[in-house]
Amino acid sequence: MANRSNLAVQCCRCRNKHTEADREPRPHRSISCVSELVCPRCGCTSYYDITPWYAWCWASGLIEMGPTKPGDSPDGAGAIVIARGGKAHLEAVMQAVARHGQGASEGKLLVPGVPEADLIGRDPVDVLREFVDWCAQSNGRRHRHGVVFGTQVEG
Ligand SMILES: [Zn+2]
């Protein structure tokens, strides 16, 4: 199991990747007797959590993220993994490409077009695939920070 010391992190300033245990204590600038953990390369205090995470989608179009894909729901429907990446970057990219739910879905992320696919006579799986293919066109681009879209990214 992951604990604080082997948490994978990336420096916000110099992009150095290391673990929480590699970070070096340094006396805090304004509070005496307190030390803060800094990047071993540049001394910056800010970092991203880059624990490997996945994003998956349910038949309803709901997108969820976490370290492992959940099992099938009680009715037998399974989630489809659509992307992977470091936690902080995956969350940021998903916020940018997904639809933000309104009303009852407030605060949730949805795959555009999937919730209403049935209403317009489209197969939700086709709509999902088009969305993932569209997102995958930017795989490997710098602004994606290693987040990769695809339905074969699991494992
Ligand atoms: Zn750094």
Q: How far is CA 74 from CA 78, 118, 134, in A?
A: 9, 22, 31
Are 145 and 74 found together in one domain? yes
Are 100 and 121 found together in one domain? yes
Residue type, 151: T
For position 100, what pLDDT does the model report?
96
Distance 64 CA to ligand 1 centre (A): 30
Note whether residue 95 is domain-resident.
yes
Note whether residue 63 is domain-resident.
yes
Return residues with CB closer than 5 A to ligand 1 (ion): 11, 13-14, 16, 39, 41-42, 44
Asked if 61 contacts 33 with a C-beta cutoff of 8 angstroms, the reply is no
Are 19 and 61 found together in one domain? no
Distance 36 CA to ligand 1 centre (A): 14
Query: Over the stretch 9-51, which tens digit does the pLDDT of each residue have?
Result: 999 999 999 999 999 999 888 878 888 899 999 999 999 999 9
Q: Which domain holds residue 136?
A: 52-149
Distance 66 CA to ligand 1 centre (A): 26
Are 77 and 101 found together in one domain? yes
Query: Over the stretch 118-130, which tens digit does the pLDDT of each residue have?
Result: 999 999 999 999 9
pLDDT band at 3 (very low <50, low <70, confident <90, very high): low
How far is CA 5 from its chain centroid? 21
- Which helix (H) or strand (E) segment holds residue 91: the answer is helix 87-97
Are 40 and 60 found together in one domain? no
Asked if 15 contacts 46 with a C-beta cutoff of 8 angstroms, the reply is no
Are 85 and 18 found together in one domain? no
Strands 109-110 and 62-66: antiparallel
Q: How many domains does the chain have?
A: 2
Distance 135 CA to ligand 1 centre (A): 29
Are 69 and 36 found together in one domain? no
Note whether residue 154 is domain-resident.
no
Distance 54 CA to ligand 1 centre (A): 25
Distance 85 CA to ligand 1 centre (A): 20
3-class state of residue 153 by DSSP: coil
Of all residues in the chain, the percent with pLDDT exceeding 70 is 94
Note whether residue 119 is domain-resident.
yes
Residue 43: partners with Cβ closer than 8 Å, 6 or more residues away: 26
Are 34 and 64 found together in one domain? no
Are 34 and 79 found together in one domain? no
For residues 147 and 105, give the distance between their C-alpha atoms in angstroms, rounded to a whole number. 25
Q: How far is CA 111 from CA 50, 53, 58, in A?
A: 23, 18, 9
Note whether residue 59 is domain-resident.
yes
Are 59 and 103 found together in one domain? yes
User: 35: number of CA atoms within 13 Å, CB side?
Assistant: 8
Note whether residue 90 is domain-resident.
yes
Distance 68 CA to ligand 1 centre (A): 28
| DSSP bridge pairs for 66 | 54
